[in-house]
Amino acid sequence: MKLYFAPGACSLSPHIVLHEAGLAAQTEKVDLASKKTASGADFTQVNPKGYVPALQLDDGTVLTEGPAIVQYLADQRPAARLAPENGTLQRYQLQELLNFISTEIHKSYSPLFKPNSTPEMKQAFIDLLQRRYDTVEQMLSGRQYIAGDQFTVADAYLFTVTGWSRVLKIDLLSSRPNLAAYMERVGGRPAVQSAMRAEGLIK
């Protein structure tokens, strides 16, 4: 397998899952501006959508979209318990969380990184994020992780996108003790540290 990633982008989520599951995979960095990989290849030949993550399987098949990739990786190592068994209610609840993170949180950050977004537009999305994280704060009440007391692929995703708030200087943590403790807890996991170190995000 080969994971195509950009440091700190949403591809950090499957990168974390690879480390959590102990799966062997190559990684290749992508310059999202030029669409070139570290080896000089045209990334759009790998993923015509032009964005990360992309997971190339050993037979050449390419999976895209983070929520699909992390579930695929989790299913390669069931003993790691990164996703409930397929067909169970708990698996559908995990998919519910992944969809919430993807559509309501991840995509709300996107306009904040675009230089052509107006201040008014940015503020509207910041306000939306604050409301969504109020929901996350409630969900984390009495829980170690977003789905309960077991770390899952949803935590890798939520940790990744929430980390963008620091880059954007959006204060999400000071009024949300559950979220603050959660970010510290997930960020301290050895596999998370390893993935971040591999991307050059920490030393």
The tens digit of pLDDT for each residue in 36-94 reads 999 999 999 999 999 999 999 999 999 999 999 999 999 999 999 999 999 999 999 99
> Is 137 found in the same domain as 115?
yes
The domain total for the chain is 2
Position 15 scores a pLDDT of: 98
> Is 128 found in the same domain as 68?
no
Alpha helices by DSSP H, listed for the chain, are: 12-21, 66-76, 89-100, 107-109, 119-139, 153-167, 177-187, 190-198
The arithmetic mean of pLDDT across residues 94-103, rounded, is: 98
Is pLDDT of 203 > 90?
Answer: no
> Is 150 found in the same domain as 72?
no
What does the mean pLDDT of the chain come to?
A: 98
Q: How far apart are CA 158 and CA 131, in angstroms?
A: 15
> Is 185 found in the same domain as 156?
yes
Quick check: 194 and 27 in contact, CB under 8 A?
A: no
Residue 21 lies in a domain: yes
The one-letter amino acid code at 78 reads P
> Is 128 found in the same domain as 158?
yes
pTM of the model: 0.97
Position 34 scores a pLDDT of: 97
Domain hosting residue 74, numbered range:
2-80+192-198
- DSSP for residue 84: P
Position 6 scores a pLDDT of: 98
> Is 152 found in the same domain as 103?
yes
> Is 42 found in the same domain as 70?
yes
Domain CATH for 45: 3.40.30.10
pLDDT class of 155 with cuts at 50, 70, 90: very high
Is pLDDT of 124 > 90?
Answer: yes
Quick check: 159 and 183 in contact, CB under 8 A?
A: yes
User: What's the farthest any 2 CA atoms get from each other in the chain?
Assistant: 48
Position 167 scores a pLDDT of: 96
Q: How far apart are CA 90 and CA 92, in angstroms?
A: 5
Is pLDDT of 160 > 90?
Answer: yes
% the chain with pLDDT above 90: 100
Q: How far apart are CA 150 and CA 152, in angstroms?
A: 6
Position 26 scores a pLDDT of: 98
Sorted by sequence, the CB contacts under 8 Å of residue 122 that are 6+ apart come out as 111, 112
> Residue 24: phi, psi to the nearest 5?
-80, 130
The arithmetic mean of pLDDT across residues 102-108, rounded, is: 98
